[in-house]
Structure 1
């Protein structure tokens, strides 16, 4: 695993190495505007290909359908102080550009980090995949207020309240149950949305949102205690494909 992956509390794989990561927050003196200045390790947070973004002026590119091979591999939940993250067992993959990326974990942001033509959603899920070279592909799902989400209900039953707390799920959770029925998506090149903000990340954002109840949204907010979305970053000439 590349060192840059272990430096971010949202993208670690339950490694003790994260304990040595420099402190950062979503607001105040260690907030997003200061990330690049906190330590040289976070220098890419001032880069020109950063995420999240406002997805606008999409270009029709006839994107190939997503090829997913997901098993019920979500087994643990951890509250790292920045989000709630579900750790995933090996064996579930996403095919991008003919390359297999393995699903490592998924986590959530409230409100959404990415915007779609200026629209924000109350919750966004990020499914983080890594290939054998350490390259990252993130599949993002928007959630809108509506009826209760059955898949999230399973996870939310074990929401860890305290920072550092890890909960075991009663039954393995399938990330595929979090995805919309229609799998059309947007694509752009970006970065991790948390320090160290490493660039070169393949971003795939589902067009169709999934419903989640307001009570479920509120339950997540109650655990995190603050908005955990990085502000949108300039596209700087990048193209959003659809």
Structure 2
């Protein structure tokens, strides 16, 4: 069972907006394969936050600043271990292949529009968050790009994030850059760069292709070497360039 230590969120004044964006730390700590793939028992902090300690403190400061400006940041998702991601993947795979009759390869392509292959999710690291404005009146699915655009319930919140999130170290991961490949635009997904950058660097040093070939979950028998190489290049690495 994951250990969770709850911390009191650090306060932040309106003067926080006067500071420049946090510069990611230059470090190269050791991260195990199990840790990078969401299979290790890591310590998580913050009640209802569940991030690594430094990321949790930064999130608390950002949430307080947003609150002062009329937004109530609500955490939709943060840390997810390998096995939870595996469950998400397999439910979607079964829904597409069995319920909708989609061929396996087409089902996999549909899944990776938004969902990661288990073991490759940035949410495994305790650095990434999916967030919305809890004050906004909204119905149905909340993690929909249109709801963050002009006229959508999260339009103002997204503008606030665009102007302020990097001050606290949080960077949008999957941007709306027209030439970007891989996962579709996710205006709700932010990453705490001071930790996630060195974690991605460590992950890239591993033989990701071999790691994925050794897994066993529904649909993985259809993974080809070519598919996995494209997935690594497009879905893992074609992200906001500030996070590389």
For normalisation by structure 2, the TM-score amounts to 0.24
Structure with higher helix content? 2
Higher strand proportion, which one?
Answer: 1
**Higher-RCO chain (CA-CA 8 Å, sequence separation at least 6):** 1
